[in-house]
Amino acid sequence: MSPRERAAELLTKAVWLQGHGPEMAEALLAHGRIVNLPAGAWAQSEGDEQTGITLVVEGAVQMMCAAPGGREVLFGQAGPGVALGQTLRFGGGPRLVTLICVEESVLLVVPDHALTRIAAEQPALWQAVAALVYLQLRGALMMAAEALALPPRQRLASRLEVMARTGGPALRMNQQALAEMVGLSRKTVNFYLLGFQQAGLLTLGYGEIEVRDTAGLRRIAES
Amino acid sequence: MSPRERAAELLTKAVWLQGHGPEMAEALLAHGRIVNLPAGAWAQSEGDEQTGITLVVEGAVQMMCAAPGGREVLFGQAGPGVALGQTLRFGGGPRLVTLICVEESVLLVVPDHALTRIAAEQPALWQAVAALVYLQLRGALMMAAEALALPPRQRLASRLEVMARTGGPALRMNQQALAEMVGLSRKTVNFYLLGFQQAGLLTLGYGEIEVRDTAGLRRIAES
DNA sequence: CGAAGTTTGTCACCAAGGTTACAATTCAGA
DNA sequence: TCTGAATTGTAACCTTGGTGACAAACTTCG
């Protein structure tokens, strides 16, 4: 299957496009651009296309976010089907999220001006964009709440459960990256991961974590 | 000035409504409802009006969010001018944010069905909603990044700086609430606050914090 | 196969925040 | 004015996660 066909399939299944008919997905495909990127590449780095909607079609990207003090905080990893919406129009300031490919990836990029053009014919596009941003808001808020209120072990379990649920049970990331995502040291993450493995909740590999029992992880997160 | 006039003034200044002309603010006012609530009251608790746009006109509300384990996490406080958009349409699940008045407050509530009605005449409304949600997303992401990456002292300074910048220098909240918002114990927060006061960055009162030097707080947050 | 680089598992030491508790202060209402 | 509730300031003790370092295991590429 070609990347474009794959993107079309992902768009038809996207929650934020439900109820808008196939013509909107087609418009996004028509006005968007398929981008191939090698591992380690920065997405969204060229010219005015820094913002708009980005859909991960194949591969995986890490999501980084700027924090005070010039810190770049790794806060998540996204696989095929995940879309990100961002724009410079509202509120100004620099780009919110930076994407970095952790492996060879294919993205569908629909820049701001393309969105404007689509909206000229399909005003409902903004409703879909609002839905997309709202989904991201939900995720970000949950993450913030977890980071503020959950103790380390529960926090780790919760994030593993979320990532396994949204991106499949096989998580391809090393423990250093995972540690950054939950705000802990690698040592601590390793310690708890070994415990989870002992309990049969997951299997550890080299640069990989296979989640085997999401319900069990959720139970820990809620404890 | 009547609450309705005050709401109109706040709407005309709202970032997320810029570029949409006065008729959109008027429509929100016309289809919205002014609600008076006493201290301690739950906002958004009646019937189908649980979601939509809520604008704080007078007073102050605390924002809570559900975390795993039935925990309700206090993550912020909003004063006049702050708007919240949320909806049950996308992604399902329970309401994202719960509002509780910390003092007698006046809110403008524009429920989902009213938004739909306004959008029938002004399709650009969804663009404004997308902008509003995007503003919230920015805030939530920054909060998550801070919670994950900043050490306690920097985290506290950063949140104080943000709240002083968006809601005025006089923060009316006790140290217990502040501690929950930054994910620390009251003891630790009290310790750092006394240090900040010593450095002349703020003044502590009974249930109140007067920020005097936001630049200084930002310097600490970035250190 | 062999070498280089990455990732994991582990250690001892240490700093730092959490817990629990209590006294002092401030405020609100009778 | 007086009383009770809420809030702040503070203490001792203790758990727990961070730091820095290093060996072992794994992967990859020549």
- In this prediction, residue B1 carries a pLDDT of 82
Residue B21 in this model has a pLDDT that exceeds 60: yes
Smallest Cα distance from A92 to chain B, Å:
10
pLDDT single digits (tens) B102-155: 999 999 999 989 999 999 999 999 999 999 999 999 999 999 999 999 999 999
Dmax (CA) for chain B in angstroms is 56
Nucleotide whose C1' lies closest to the alpha carbon of residue A208 = C7
| Rounded average pLDDT over A115-140 | 94
A71 beta partners: A67
Q: Cβ separation of B69 and A124 shorter than 8 Å?
A: no
For residue B46 the two structure tokens come to 């009646």
- In this prediction, residue A89 carries a pLDDT of 73
Contacts of B29 by beta carbon, 8 Å cutoff, 6+ apart? B4, B7, B8, B11, B108
Residue A56 in this model has a pLDDT that exceeds 90: yes
CA–CA separation, B177 and A211 (whole Å): 36
CB nearest to B137's CB, from A73, A137, A142: A137
Q: Is residue A131 within 8 angstroms of chain B, CB to CB?
A: yes
Least confident of A28-37, A93-102, B109-118, B177-186: A93-102
Neighbours of A155 (CB within 10 A): 24
Which residues in B lie closer than 8 A to residue A15 (C-beta atoms)? Answer: 90-91
A78 beta partners: A61
Mean pLDDT, chain A, whole residue set: 93
CA–CA separation, A96 and B96 (whole Å): 21
CB nearest to A140's CB, from B15, B140, B182: B140
Is there a contact between A181 and A157 (Cβ–Cβ < 8 Å)? no
Dmax (CA) for chain A in angstroms is 56
CA–CA separation, B94 and B88 (whole Å): 7
Sheet holding A61-67, edge to edge: A71-78, A61-67, A97-101
CA A186 → CA A63, A79, A136, distances in Å? 19, 23, 27
Residue A192 in this model has a pLDDT that exceeds 60: yes
| Rounded average pLDDT over A66-90 | 90
D26 C1' – A205 CA distance, angstroms?
10
Q: Cβ separation of A222 and B70 shorter than 8 Å?
A: yes
Considering only CA atoms, which residue is closest to the C1' of nucleotide C17?
B188
| Percent of chain B whose predicted confidence (pLDDT) is above 70 | 96
CB nearest to A147's CB, from B71, B133, B183: B183
Q: Predicted confidence band at A1 (pLDDT cuts at 50, 70, 90)?
A: confident
pTM: 0.95
- In this prediction, residue A48 carries a pLDDT of 53
Where are the extended beta strands (E) located within B88-217? 97-101, 105-111, 170-171, 202-205, 208-211
Residue A46 in this model has a pLDDT that exceeds 80: no
Is there a contact between A189 and A181 (Cβ–Cβ < 8 Å)? no
Contacts of A203 by beta carbon, 8 Å cutoff, 6+ apart? A197, A209, A210, A212
Closest CA relative to residue B57, chosen from B103, B8, B110: B8
For residue B131 the two structure tokens come to 């902008």
Sequence-ordered alpha helix ranges (H) in B151-185: 152-167, 175-182
